[in-house]
Amino acid sequence: MTCTEFIALLDDLMDDRVSAALRAELEEHLRGCEHCVVTLNTTRKTIEIYRSHELYELPNDLRSRLHKAILAKCKKC
């Protein structure tokens, strides 16, 4: 397996959507390829960082303002 082939399957590997046979091939590639190990680990980390950090917090005052505006209009419907 080449690096290009490995990268093409990266998402399936991370999302656990590969057959046992394919997984074995991918793991075989990883044993011999440090670059792909780094790519896999840092891509996983990328997702994890984005998942665990709130980038756009909705402040409470804005939140209640929005609620009021939405519900006022709903009641008119």
Partner 1 sequence: MPDIQTQGTEEVHPDVLLVNRAREGDVQAFEKLVKQYDRQVFRIAQHITQNREDAEDVVQDSFLKAYEKLDQFQGNSKFYTWLVRIAVNEALMRLRKRRTGRMVSIDEDVETEEGSMPRDLADWGPDPEQQYSQSELAEILRKTIQGLPPGFRVVFVLRDVEGLSTEETAETLGLSVPAVKSRLLRARLQLRERLSRYFRKDKRNGGAK
**Binding region for partner 1 (CB under 8 A):** 3-4, 7-8, 10-11, 15, 34-35, 38-39, 41-43, 45-47, 49-51, 53-56, 58, 62-63, 66-67, 69-71, 73-75, 77
Closest separation between CB of residue 37 and Zn ion, Å?
8
The string of DSSP letters for 8-76 reads HTHHHHHTT-S-HHHHHHHHHHHHH-HHHHHHHHHHHHHHHHHHHS-SS---HHHHHHHHHHHHHHHHH
Partner touching 47 among partner 1, Zn ion, none, CB below 5 to 8 Å by kind: partner 1
